Amino acid sequence: MIAWGTILTIVSSLIFPGIVIKTKATLEGRKGPGLLQPLFDIGRLLRKGSVYSLTTSLIFQIAPVIYLASVVVAVFFIPFGEAPGLLSFECDFVFFAYLMAIGKFVMIIAAMDTGSGFEGMGANREALYSMLVEPAFFILMGSMALLSKSITLHDFYTNLYSGSHLTYLLVVVGIFLLIEIMLVENSRLPVDDPKTHLELTMVHEVMVLDHSGFDMAVIHYTTGLKFALFSALIANFLIPAGASLVVQSIVFLVVQGGCAIVIGISESFRARNKMSKNPQWILTLSATALIVFLASLILTHKFILP
């Protein structure tokens, strides 16, 4: 049953983008495409061949596959209820974070490889936002380590509620932070708008402009998988300990669907930030995570000064 969480994450990643699109369409008063339409689009792209510019090198060709591989391996670390992920070791959350960073790094150098000024600009912005959101993720993980007195991703969730009941309140803020981190990591509103058509205002979309066919399908699928990955992190906060596998699976899938709906609602009503406002908005996430960390220190009676 160790692989059950991984299987569920991969299954939910298939319809995650569909739920987001459907929610947005419903709120806009449109019928919208079916839940599986993004999957059909990926299937159509997979059947096409990729076209490579003569200015690009091997890096550009292998980047989408490395991007997918890094996220797939990161999924292996996601625990499910009391069961650890397929891979689990001490301080695995650091490895998890840097796996995500590897994927982003190869996509950034692939964008630079095209020699396009627009793609370089998008890569520059993506690197900045990733750098700014990283402290928020690590401070949040540090808080969880403090509260659960453990250093593996699996133990974070199993030991989290064993201390003070006030932990539940911190978890609410933690879930809010993870949702916002998910939006930044996946380049969605309010940081980036995937629907924008002006290269000057794009962040992630401009980076992948030169990819086509199979590579584009891989990139699209990886986006859905990253959504499911972060939603799985959120779902683990809410999966009831000691419940049957069926109940845990239902809770997991409901949270996945809930996250997709929340993103759809947020993208329907939220305006995109001005480009110059993005760094300070992302920094606010780190500042909020810092508050959670300080509260965790107080809860666990860890006094820094003598």
Partner 1 sequence: MIFFFIILFAISLIYLALTERVARFITLLIIQGILLAGIAYWHLKHIDVIHLSFILLETLVVKSIGIPVFLNYLRKRNRLNRLNESKVPTFVSILILSAGLVFGFLLSNYLQDTHIETIFFAVAISSVIAGLFFIISHRNVFTHLIGYLVIQNGIFLMSLSVGAEMPMLINNAILLDLFISVLVLGIFINKVGDTFQNLTVDGLSQLKH
> Which parts of this chain interact with partner 1 (CB under 8 A)?
166, 169-170, 172-173, 277, 279-281, 283-284, 286-288, 290-292, 294-295, 297-298, 303-305
Q: What DSSP line would sit under 164-179, residue for residue?
A: -TTHHHHHHHHHHHHH
- Residue 3 vs 298, nearer CB to partner 1: 298
Q: How far is the CB of 47 from partner 1 (least distance, A)?
A: 46
In angstroms, the CA 177 to CA 115 distance is 35
Q: Which is nearer to partner 1, 254 or 287 (CB)?
A: 287
d(CA 153, CA 151): 7
Q: What distance in Å separates the CA atoms of residue 269 and residue 95, rounded to the nearest whole number?
A: 35
Q: Which is closer to partner 1, CB of 151 or CB of 283?
A: 283
For partner 1, which is the closer residue by CB, 145 or 208? 145
- What whole-number distance in Å separates Cα of residue 191 and Cα of residue 128? 12
Find the shortest distance in angstroms from Cβ 237 to partner 1.
16
Q: How far is the CB of 250 from partner 1 (least distance, A)?
A: 28
> Toward partner 1, which CB reaches closer, 30 or 277?
277
Comparison of 223 and 286: residue with beta carbon closer to partner 1? 286
Token pair 């205002």 is found at 201
The CB-of-10 to partner 1 minimum distance in angstroms stands at 34
CA pair distance 2, 67, nearest whole angstrom: 24
Question: What are the distances in angstroms from CA 83 to CA 88, 161, 175, 295?
Answer: 10, 16, 21, 28
Query: Cβ 291 to partner 1, closest distance in Å?
Result: 5
Alpha-carbon gap, residue 212 to 42, rounded angstroms:
11
**Eight-class DSSP state of 149:** T
Q: Which helix (H) or strand (E) holds 56?
A: none
282: enclosing H helix or E strand: helix 278-299
Q: How far is the CB of 7 from partner 1 (least distance, A)?
A: 36
Q: How many CB atoms lie within 10 A of CB 271?
A: 8
Tell the smallest beta-carbon distance from residue 246 to partner 1 (Å): 32
135 versus 213: smaller Cβ distance to partner 1: 135
C-alpha distances (whole Å) from 57 to each of 62, 114, 204 are 9, 8, 20
CA 189 to chain centre: 13
